[in-house]
A and B are shown apart, each in its own frame.
Chain A
């Protein structure tokens, strides 16, 4: 952690309003985005943000500073969000296995050729992000297991490296990469099943 961040955190934990405001300005939007990405619920995400900043203020003084401040805050956010999700919405989550590609013994993909070559990527992004396509995408994200959503947001929205994400979620780099790839493939599959026929 940089000297500036260490100083900022120390002043915030000492109750200096200006320092806390700076931390909020820098991190609240990112904390909310990750919290929402994992919980998929605005009210839960708001509670996570409050809890995270409370932990920063209360525990910041004990932070050892081995990691970057942002990584530490992301880690708290991930843990609080996963705790908030514990036991909730399990019925929505599906096994990813049925959404991953299947293969013939020779290594070619199995399935109807028309489906295998379906390519909806030429559809304008604005169209894909509105109406029925958006609804399909949001529902598909909802169905991902929360640990996968955490990695997806950290990698594909915050654009952190796999090493940084591994440190934040407390897993190996290989596990992070596998989870990211499986999440993207599962989302792609659901989009293709719904959009592919019109491609």
Chain B
């Protein structure tokens, strides 16, 4: 497996949707490739950061306005 082939399949590996035989082949490549290990580590952390950063909360005052808006629409 080349670095290109390894990086191409990282999403399935990180998401846990990769077949076991391909995962084993990828892990063999990673064991001997510093750049790909660094790529995987930072790719995985990027995913975690996005999950945290994009998990925005809807402000309470917005929920209140939504309720008012829908109540007004239902009265029409």
Contact = CB atoms under 8 A, between A and B. Distances in A.
A184 B42 CA distance: 10
- In this complex, the member of B56, B57, B59, B74 whose beta carbon has the largest number of chain A beta carbons within 10 angstroms is B56
B61 to A, nearest CB: 10
Given A24-B63, A108-B3, A138-B53, A188 B38 contact: no
B63 A152 contact: no
A10 interface: no
Given A119-B42, A191-B42, A49 B66 contact: yes
A68 interface: no
B58 A33 contact: yes
Interface in B29-45: 34-39, 41-45
B43 to A, nearest CB: 5
A104 to B, nearest CB: 9
A185 interface: yes
A96 interface: no
Contacts of B63: 24, 28
Given A103-B4, A109-B3, A188 B66 contact: no
Interface in A179-199: 180-181, 184-185, 187-188, 191-192
Nearest to B50: A156
A184 B49 CA distance: 10
Contact of A134 (B12, B53, B54): B53
A93 B66 CA distance: 30
B62 interface: yes
Interface residues of B, number: 45
The secondary-structure label for the interface of chain A is helix
Interface residues of A, number: 53
A175 B43 CA distance: 19
Interface string A3-16: 00000000000010
Interface in B13-41: 15, 17, 34-39, 41
A132 interface: no
Nearest to B34: A117
B74 A15 contact: yes
24 contacts: A15-B74, A24-B67, A29-B57, A33-B54, A36-B56, A37-B56, A46-B65, A49-B58, A50-B66, A57-B73, A57-B74, A103-B3, A106-B2, A109-B36, A117-B35, A119-B38, A120-B42, A121-B42, A125-B49, A129-B49, A153-B54, A184-B43, A188-B43, A188-B46
